Amino acid sequence: MEIRVVAKESDALRIEIPRGEETLLVPLVELLQAEEHVVEARYFLGHAFLERPALYLRTKGEKPQAVLKRVLKDLADLYGDLLQDFDRRAEKAKAS
């Protein structure tokens, strides 16, 4: 996935993601909003033909890049665990 950093400040970050990957933004923003150091986290879908979906993140007391990396890792772990659980249950269903 090609991510573009559009704006980067000491306490704010704006990134764009490829069109078609915007479903990632909903759980990502929900987890970011639950973080202690996050002041603002939101996403923009923009015009379907002219703009790429974007994420805006503003933090206090921690760099936005660090918070975003941590939350992305948490998301990867969450969905990885879900996939492993599904695989185990699918194997049990085959055996029955």
Q: Is the pLDDT of residue 95 over 70?
A: no
The number of distinct structural domains making up the chain is 1
CATH of the domain at 58: 3.30.1360.10
pLDDT band at 81 (very low <50, low <70, confident <90, very high): confident
Residue whose C-alpha is closest to residue 11's, from 48, 54, 46, 61: 61
pLDDT band at 90 (very low <50, low <70, confident <90, very high): confident
Structure confidence by residue, pLDDT tens digits, 19-62: 877 788 899 999 999 999 999 999 998 787 888 899 999 999 99
Range of the structural domain that residue 73 is part of: 4-95
Decide: residue 15, CB within 10 A, 0-12 exposed, 13-18 middle, 19+ buried: buried
Residue whose C-alpha is closest to residue 46's, from 64, 74, 25, 77: 25
Q: Where are the alpha helices (DSSP H) in the chain?
A: 25-33, 64-95
Q: What is the pLDDT of residue 85?
A: 78
Structure-model confidence comparison of residues 2 and 12, the more confident one:
12
Report the chain's mean pLDDT, rounded to a whole number: 88
Residue whose C-alpha is closest to residue 61's, from 40, 33, 39: 39
